[in-house]
Amino acid sequence: MLHAIIMAGGSGTRFWPKSRRHRPKQLLTLTGERSLIQQTFDRIGPLASADCVRIVTGADQVAAIAAQLPEIPSGNLIAEPAPRDTAACVALAAMCVAHDDPEGVMVVMPADHVIRPESAFVRTIEAALKVIDKEPEALVTFGIRPTRPETGYGYIEHAEELDRHGEVPVYRVAQFREKPNRETAEQFLATGRFSWNSGIFVWKASTILAELARHRPSLFEAMQPIRDALGTPRYDEVLKAVFPTLEKVPIDKAVMERSAHVRMLEVLFDWNDVGDWRALADLEPGEEKGNVVQGAVKIADCADSIIVNEDGKLIAALGLEGVVVVVSGGVTLVAKKDKLDSLKALVESLGTSGHGDVL
Amino acid sequence: MLHAIIMAGGSGTRFWPKSRRHRPKQLLTLTGERSLIQQTFDRIGPLASADCVRIVTGADQVAAIAAQLPEIPSGNLIAEPAPRDTAACVALAAMCVAHDDPEGVMVVMPADHVIRPESAFVRTIEAALKVIDKEPEALVTFGIRPTRPETGYGYIEHAEELDRHGEVPVYRVAQFREKPNRETAEQFLATGRFSWNSGIFVWKASTILAELARHRPSLFEAMQPIRDALGTPRYDEVLKAVFPTLEKVPIDKAVMERSAHVRMLEVLFDWNDVGDWRALADLEPGEEKGNVVQGAVKIADCADSIIVNEDGKLIAALGLEGVVVVVSGGVTLVAKKDKLDSLKALVESLGTSGHGDVL
């Protein structure tokens, strides 16, 4: 049986002021009519019933997620008492799956990416399930063929092609690489052997737990009290006591970089991690001159700009080039596109400058 | 006795969205704590009592002006049934003054300029009153020494200096010139003989009426029914019937360019016609990097920008250069400074594109 784990741990600065501390990116409807987490849930629908979808998130987001995804049983909303990075998150989810279904296979997906078309996603995951059928110990990761020397993503270098399921090639992995600098990213691109690390995984719950026990025994051991408490009345109490003490480490570093069983599939779908406001230009059909406009907006003589009106009567934009304007919740952001990397710092500074009410 | 005429006929596009159709520039508090028309009233205070201040404006603005200037007798608020340019406006005011005070002297001032310091304004007007004392037939106009080759103003070329009152030189006028192109404006600046036409005048009411009768007899004759009705119960009815039919012509063209009695005084004060949002940069103390900020605003890495928050929770501006951002009445304007000349056209287009509610 396929179990889907949606990792919904994102925070709320990159899409501020539409995203806020208690309304992070995955809960936002940025494109289309469903929020990113709803789109993620919809995407896995052909492969996993709602009963088999679990969402791992912060305690303060459980209510909002339940409201957006009422189909999911409330017991499947796993609240992390504190964020402890992806190794602990994945292991907790794997323990829950293994407790219910010892032979269960799980697909792990971030809640806040856009993937199109859905059918290509389904065919890609089906290929991964065939890999698991043949090699039950496999840890399947998914590589995105890079289209630019992006410095904001991790990369996976593949070694030889081992197999092929339909159109999907299966590679052995040569190495994982963290976010490179520009020069290194250009070299990666030139070799043709590097893919972007999508953060999507398929494996048996028992496999990832065994590999964690082998490659990060300290973390695995530290989590045993939680596993032992699963299904008992002590569970909540134990989770709250133990989870916040766990090591913060990404699953890539804890396991994937060390395991001999990693397989990389090159995906069939288009992928966008929706990093910040600029992503709208890739996701929405831009009008003339590359402007993206949402809501009541009047533009004149603008180019390459993103104008989003959530709740104002009107935004009038005149003569802008490469500017992002967002009005949401009574707050206006106006930012030059090429300075958006500094938005996080600006938003974080609001708390200490008397504007904590708009975080 | 000195009578002050404040011409308050301005419309509401250059400072949109803070200015609106029924809230034109002169009613706005753009700098300091008083609106532009209140500042104009305050400025003439040392020379004319509130009883002697008349305001000529549109019928739809009378109530708002009365609310801002409760000191002025309501009978001194002269409502034009339709805008007919400055010759008709000035003549109507002169008829009202002459009716009450046949020998009255009047100072005519636009309602929406910023003049500093007030004491220099008073000394300049006092110099004009001395000119009238010596030459009762004089039409006194005021020239501003130009500081740049501005193409948005009319110019006055002065001839020889005839007299001097205190620090104020009195010139005969060689010619009036309408808004020049850039090249001509540069030539004007180079000669040292051209001044900006301030639109401020001092003359006896009887003089301007006599000169209008001489140089624009058709307009003068057309207005006689209004003059005859002054102080009678028929006045309102006659004004409404006659005024909208009057020729639209500026007082400069109808009289000043033709009269032999024009004298130009070079003013002692700093003058700003507050043309559009860019004027704030001249009027407000800019902070570091030349930004002007009003209201709840957070800026990072901005230069040469104007950020005005009238009613939003916050405006956050990131990486802007030469941009105007205004949030007022639920409407957001974001405009490149060097494109602000097109704001009027943009605002006017809103009516036909379904946004008439924000005009």
* Residues B303 and B267 both lie in one domain: no
- pLDDT band of residue A214 (cuts 50, 70, 90) is very high
CATH of the domain at B129: 3.90.550.10
Copy the structure tokens of residue A10. Answer: 């994102």
Q: Is the peptide bond before B117 cis (omega within 30 degrees of 0)?
A: yes
Write the secondary structure of A68-101 as one string of H (helix), E (strand) and C (coil).
HCCCCCHHHEEEECCCCHHHHHHHHHHHHHHHHC
The Cα of B252 is separated from the nearest Cα of chain A by a number of Å equal to: 34
Of B320, B327, B335, the CB nearest to A336: B320
* Residues A318 and A197 both lie in one domain: no
Is residue B108 in some structural domain? yes
Interface of A with B in 284-323 (CB under 8 A): 296, 298, 300-301, 309, 312-321, 323
Per-residue pLDDT averaged across A72-81, rounded?
Answer: 96
Of B314, B330, B350, the CB nearest to A331: B314
- The helix/strand/coil state of A105 is strand
pLDDT of residue A304: 96
pLDDT of residue A22: 84
* Residues B181 and B131 both lie in one domain: yes
pLDDT of residue A286: 76
Copy the structure tokens of residue B344. Answer: 């009027």
- pLDDT of A1 > 90? The answer is no
The Cα of B185 is separated from the nearest Cα of chain A by a number of Å equal to: 26
Please state the φ and ψ torsions of residue B109, each to the nearest 5 degrees.
-135, 135
Question: Per-residue pLDDT tens for A46-65?
Answer: 999 999 999 999 988 999 99
* Residues A222 and A323 both lie in one domain: no
Of A298, A323, A335, the CB nearest to B350: A298
Residue predicted with more confidence, B65 or A1: B65
Question: Domain containing B45: what range?
Answer: 2-272
* Residues A169 and A285 both lie in one domain: no
* Residues A245 and A284 both lie in one domain: no
pTM of the predicted structure, to 2 decimals: 0.89
* Residues A125 and A106 both lie in one domain: yes
Q: Say yes or no for a CB contact (<8 Å) between B315 and A336.
A: no
Q: Say yes or no for a CB contact (<8 Å) between A316 and B332.
A: yes
- Which residue type occupies A275? G
Contacts of A336 in chain B (CB under 8 A): 318-321
pLDDT of residue A354: 85
- pLDDT of B273 > 80? The answer is yes
Question: Per-residue pLDDT tens for A6-24?
Answer: 999 877 689 999 999 888 9
* Residues B30 and B161 both lie in one domain: yes
Per-residue pLDDT averaged across A317-345, rounded?
Answer: 96
* Residues A15 and A108 both lie in one domain: yes
Question: Per-residue pLDDT tens for B159-178?
Answer: 999 999 999 999 999 999 99
Q: Say yes or no for a CB contact (<8 Å) between A332 and B336.
A: no
- pLDDT band of residue B312 (cuts 50, 70, 90) is confident
Domain boundary among A248, A272, A296: A272
* Residues A133 and A219 both lie in one domain: yes
- pLDDT of B288 > 80? The answer is no
ipTM (interface predicted TM)? 0.87
- pLDDT of B286 > 80? The answer is no
Q: Say yes or no for a CB contact (<8 Å) between B316 and A333.
A: yes
B114 Cβ neighbours under 8 A, 6+ residues apart: B31, B36, B39, B271, B272, B274, B279, B283
Sheet holding B297-300, edge to edge: A292-294, A306-309, A323-328, A331-336, B314-318, B297-300
Q: What is the DSSP string of A286-317?
A: --GGG-EEESSEEEES-BS-EEEESSSSEEEE
Write the secondary structure of chain B as one string of H (helix), E (strand) and C (coil).
CEEEEEEECCCCCCCCCCCECCECHHHCCCCCCCCHHHHHHHHHCCCCCHHHEEEEEEHHHHHHHHHHCCCCCHHHEEEECCCCHHHHHHHHHHHHHHHHCCCCEEEEEECCCEEECHHHHHHHHHHHHHHHHHCCCCEEEEEECCCCCCCCCCEEEEEEEEEEECCEEEEEEEEEECCCCHHHHHHHHHHCCEEEEEEEEEEEHHHHHHHHHHHCHHHHHHCHHHHHHCCCCCHHHHHHHHHHHCCCCCHHHHHHCCCCCEEEEECCCEEECCCCHHHHHHHCCCCHHHCEEECCEEEECCECCEEEECCCCEEEEECCECEEEEEECCEEEEEEHHHHHHHHHHHHHHHHHCCHHHC
- pLDDT band of residue B10 (cuts 50, 70, 90) is confident
| Ranges of H-type helices in chain A | 36-44, 62-68, 85-100, 118-134, 182-191, 205-215, 217-222, 224-229, 235-242, 251, 280-283, 343-350
Question: Per-residue pLDDT tens for A140-159?
Answer: 999 999 999 999 999 999 99
Per-residue pLDDT averaged across B222-227, rounded?
Answer: 98
DSSP A321: B
pLDDT of residue B304: 96
A82 vs B: CB within 8 A = no
pLDDT of residue B318: 98
Domain boundary among A229, A244, A272: A272
Q: Say yes or no for a CB contact (<8 Å) between B316 and A300.
A: no
Contacts of A319 in chain B (CB under 8 A): 335-336, 338-339, 342
pLDDT of residue A287: 79
Percent of chain A residues past pLDDT 70, beyond the cut: 100
- pLDDT band of residue B11 (cuts 50, 70, 90) is confident
- pLDDT of A288 > 90? The answer is no
What is the number of structural domains in chain B?
2
Contacts of A338 in chain B (CB under 8 A): 319
* Residues A199 and A178 both lie in one domain: yes
B351 vs A: CB within 8 A = no
Per-residue pLDDT averaged across B323-343, rounded?
Answer: 96
CA distance A23 to A64: 8
- pLDDT band of residue B9 (cuts 50, 70, 90) is confident
The Cα of A309 is separated from the nearest Cα of chain B by a number of Å equal to: 9
Domain boundary among B226, B241, B272: B272
pLDDT of residue A353: 84
Question: Per-residue pLDDT tens for B89-114?
Answer: 999 999 999 999 999 999 999 999 99
Is residue B260 in some structural domain? yes
Q: How many CB pairs under 8 A join A and B?
A: 142
pLDDT of residue B205: 98
Contacts of B320 in chain A (CB under 8 A): 323, 334-336
A75 vs B: CB within 8 A = no
Question: Per-residue pLDDT tens for B178-219?
Answer: 999 999 999 999 999 999 999 999 999 999 999 999 999 999
